Chain A
Amino acid sequence: MHPRLARLLILLLLALLGPIPATALAQGEVNVYSARQEALIKPLLDEFTEQTGIRVNLVTAQAGALLQRLRSEGRNSPADLIITVDAGNLHNAQTAGVLQPVRSEALEAAIPAQYRDPEHHWFGLSMRARPIMVVEGRVAEGEISRYEDLTDRRYRGRICIRSSDNVYNQSMIAAMIVAKGEAETEAWARGLVANLARPPRGGDRDQIRAAAAGQCDIAIANTYYLAQMLAGDDANDREAARRIRVIWPNQGEGDRGTHVNISGAGVTAHAPNRDNAIRLLEFLMSDASQQWYAEANQEYPVKEGVAWSETLERLGRFRADEINMALLGEYNARAVRLMDRARWR
């Protein structure tokens, strides 16, 4: 290579590396791989550093890719803690053998059993529900009370939902397979697809916006999207979200409850800073952190007794499907294939 070019390259590389510590393995640190994006976790991590003096190093990416990185790095991986925004990927991490079990009384006391791994590999940090949202006035009160109602012919061309590429839909179907078996769930998925107002596209907010604008009457979306629209700065979104009424499905006696999912975290199998990682986990389960989740991102705290945000309170209380979250991961691949067969894009 041209010597001048080589010098230039090295200089540039050094300039980029400059402010980054050469090693991430020094004492007093904890390394986090997070599928939760930076803006929604950094403030908490900064608070942790402030309180404990432990420095937090962070990489964010999609869960699947982070998991791949963790696996290929193997025993030398610098990562101590992996954070995901759904239960399925936590389960995948566990089956891939990249997590280690952690016994912590504080964690077990704070988190209800269905929101953590029975074998202690991972712990739920926050919760979100995926209820049915209808446009006020276009669906009568009491007309829909279960997910199963959505396949009725009278909803033909009236439902909006996003693509089945999305993990929240995959988890929802996985939970349904657990409850009703594959054949019945596939029939339901076909019925839902037949009732869609448009081919699935966009994210959850797009479904809510489309419903409010009149493209459909019914949307399925995660609660925090609606709550963020209600509490956000965007006037159009606020107005759209106000026209939506939330139906908490499957609340009847003996019924399974509304589908929920969790964000969560687990300590990696070869964590170089294991103790710090557990401290961070326990910090994330403190009342103050749980409160922050609830307020900043409009998620439900998993810890009993922590107040919900005002916006979420207004959406109403509900009974959640209590299947263990590990099952969502276990049935995820089956759910994806089922949706392929049902031609759910």
Chain B
Amino acid sequence: MNQDAVQAAAPPARTWHRPDAWRTGVVLTALVLALPVLVVFAHLFLPSTDVWQHLRETVLRDYVVNSLLLMLGVGAGVLLIGIPTAWLVSLCEFPGRRIFQWALLLPLAMPAYIIAYTYTGMLDFPGPVQTQLREWFGWGYGDYWFPEIRSLGGAMAMLSLVLYPYVYLLARAAFLEQSVCVLEVSRTLGNGPWAGFTRVALPLARPAIITGLSLALMETLADYGTVAYFGIPTFTTGIFRTWFGMADPAAAAQLSALLMSFVFVLIVLERWSRRRARFHHTSSRYTQLPRYQLRGWRRVAAVAVCALPVLLGFVLPALQLANWAAGTTETWMSAEFLRLVWNSLGLAAIAALLALALALFMAYGQRLRPSWSNAVAVRVAGMGYAVPGTVIAVGVMLPFAWLDNTVDAWMRESFGISTGLILSGTLVALIFAYCVRFLAVSLQTVEAALGKIKPSMDDAARSLGMPPNRVLRVVHMPIMRGSLLTALLLVFVDVLKELPATLILRPFNFNTLAVRTFELASDERLADAASAALAIVIAGIIPVILLSRTISRSRPGHDTAA
């Protein structure tokens, strides 16, 4: 936004010591990060086998329809949960508000496939709830109706419960950042709380909400664990089936490419929704927002609306996990288990820091040197978020192995030394895969934050002779501190939960909590998997709580000097 202003105000080129470092740097970085996605796309040009014909005739329609329905359902779900809760805790006063503020983020720590396992354990036909009902009423199979958890609707519910925090998080940050002037003007014009919400706050928060929504939807498209367990044919399950079952990687990659075109539409829609609009505030008069005091039934309703997602998305499944874990012998204090925790946290920390650095570089590069080619490169680099982890893993594996083998062949020929595999099968490959997969998260957060900084800030700093990288460090980064931490923590939690890429790219004898959980759960030993699953959840809680504190503090005019 306001790119013309930035460009118009840019100093003449001779004050640059490296004239086009930003532009070429951004394009190159984006290309490297887009490599796995491009490798997948490249399969489109392989000769198409008759598998494709077969898919069109049989199951492709199911894949498309189910994936679309799932996106619609999850989209509606995350908006319906995320926006009202964000509005309530940001601008209304009711009992427990301070707790809900952070508790509403807790489901973020719950991997989707784990919540699917726990609810199935509780609610399916042989589970305790239905068994109890049958005992009480003497029913048998077919005598009563009970919602089927392992269905498309169930998958929508599961994914909505763990993905709504993206919308909540970004919507809440947006509500908090809204200048009090805007809301006061709205009040003086006679808008009550409801009208203020629908006519002023909501439209102003729209870019943030859509960013949250697109993150949730991309994660929905990439989900494999939940839909596979629920037996729903979608793009992701189709990709696996075509690839492994029919042993046809080309057709599987072509399916992936089709999936990515869905994502591209999403991204274009998001861009379009904020075309030409500017969302930075012109007034910087911030004071503590007066919250609406809720009374009577409104109070009760507010508490219920906020409590329900926390209960269903976190408390209940966590209790079920704890219950299962209590019955097993896995000891938390064993050296091996601590090693798993350490590996998970370490990987998550590295990937989060790297992804943030890359996102900052790319987003700021695009602000400095907006260009069509940059924009496309950055978009493509961010598409990894919607691609199933296994597909990304293969996209990483192929170029890395090619590089290693080429270097090895060259070294053998020239010096008679074999270098073997330098990058493949190391943590470097794995961390690279994480960056590819989760760049979108940090990128969108950083871009949104940068977009809210008035271009006149850049102009002022630059006119005082500051080089662009110092402007970023001294001016922008302190202003965006909250968003930067948000980006960091979101990627951290995502990596903690990541499974498929970790599984296939990790080095020998290297395990993480997610790997341990999956191995036991995939063997249908849910109870044994519970300890590791619970550890993921607990490890995820700490960053989630930090996240919430960051956002509360990010409110301009809050006691800290921003």
Interface residues, chain A, CB within 8 Å of chain B? 1-2, 5, 8-9, 12-13, 15-17, 19-20, 24-25, 31, 37-40, 57-66, 68-69, 72-78, 92, 162-163, 165, 167, 170, 198-206, 209-210, 212-215, 225, 233-234, 236, 240, 332-333, 336-337, 340-341, 343, 345
Contacts and interface: CB of A to CB of B under 8 A. Distances in A.
A75 B350 CA distance: 31
A343 to B, nearest CB: 8
B174 to A, nearest CB: 28
Contacts of B270: none
Contacts of A1: 357
Given A9-B353, A39-B523, A59-B506, 10 more contacts: A16-B343, A38-B519, A61-B504, A72-B397, A76-B404, A170-B245, A201-B231, A209-B126, A210-B125, A215-B141
Contacts of A62: 244, 503-504
A345 B141 CA distance: 22
A333 B126 contact: no
A340 B150 contact: no
Interface stretch (B191-199, B246-254, B437-445): B246-254
Nearest to A216: B141
- Tell me the interface secondary structure of chain B in the complex: helix
A20 B244 CA distance: 31
Nearest to A329: B247
Interface string B49-65: 00100110011000000
Contacts of B244: 62-65, 167
B509 A202 contact: no
Given A8-B353, A59-B507, A340-B58, A65 B393 contact: yes
B10 interface: no
Interface in B482-531: 500, 503-511, 515, 519-520, 522-524, 527-528
Interface residues of B, number: 77
Nearest to B148: A198
A333 B246 contact: yes
Interface stretch (B78-86, B313-321, B420-428): B420-428
Contacts of A19: 339
A76 B503 contact: no
B241 interface: yes
Nearest to A37: B519
Given A65-B503, A65-B504, A73-B424, A337 B246 contact: yes
Nearest to B128: A236
B150 A201 contact: yes
Interface SS of A by simple majority: helix
B508 A332 contact: no
B336 to A, nearest CB: 10
A225 B126 contact: no
Interface in B382-413: 390, 393-394, 397-398, 401-402, 404-405, 408
B327 interface: yes
B508 A31 contact: yes
B245 A16 contact: no
B427 A213 contact: no
B374 to A, nearest CB: 19
Given A12-B349, A202-B229, A68 B249 contact: yes
A142 to B, nearest CB: 25
B465 interface: no
B519 A15 contact: no
A223 B327 CA distance: 25
B421 A77 contact: yes
Given A206-B524, A337-B246, A199 B231 contact: yes
